[in-house]
Amino acid sequence: MFHQNRTQELLDQLLHSDMPPWRPIPSRKLARIFGVSLQSLANWRVRGTGPEPEPMRRGKGNRIFYKPEKVMAWLSGKEPWQHSYAWLRLHLMDFTPVTEETVSACIAFLEGEGVL
């Protein structure tokens, strides 16, 4: 979809954001990051060729949200949790072993949902 250099640039921008990649962002913000129109995102969504949006939530109107970790997975072909791990490593801490479960536990702890 994007040229290789542009893909890496987008991945770096999402990874270096202060916002954790597991927290959804509105489609308007994603369109700005990608440098495309909201209509392009809508076209990708309808055709099933773009990043996977989050399920619609009651009370949010017609706003569409995307998790940056899923957007990065769409761009890179890696698993979403691997991008969350990279963000955690860059911004907070390094931990091992690196598994989907350890990353999920760390996120739950940071979000106040559990204890490590």
Q: Is 52 contained in some domain?
A: yes
Q: pTM to 2 decimals? A: 0.78
* Cα-only R_g, the chain: 15
- In our burial notation (b when 16+ CB lie closer than 10 A, e otherwise), range 14-48 reads bbebeebbbebbebeebbeebeeeeeebeebbeee
Q: Name the residue range of residue 28's domain.
A: 4-110
pLDDT score recorded for residue 12: 87
Residue 116 is assigned to a structural domain of this protein = no
What is the overall mean pLDDT for the chain? 85
Q: Confidence band (pLDDT; 50, 70, 90) for 3?
A: low
E strand segments, the chain = 25-26, 65-66
Residue 13 lies in a domain: yes
User: For tokens 């955690």, what's the residue?
Assistant: 88
Interval 24-77: pLDDT, tens: 999 999 999 999 999 999 999 999 999 999 987 666 666 899 999 999 999 899
Question: Does 97 map to a domain?
Answer: yes
pLDDT value for 61: 66
In a domain, 96, yes or no: yes
67 belongs to a structural domain: yes
- The span from the CA of 68 to the CA of 61, in Å, is 21
Indicate whether 32 belongs to any domain. Answer: yes
The number of folded domains in the chain is: 1
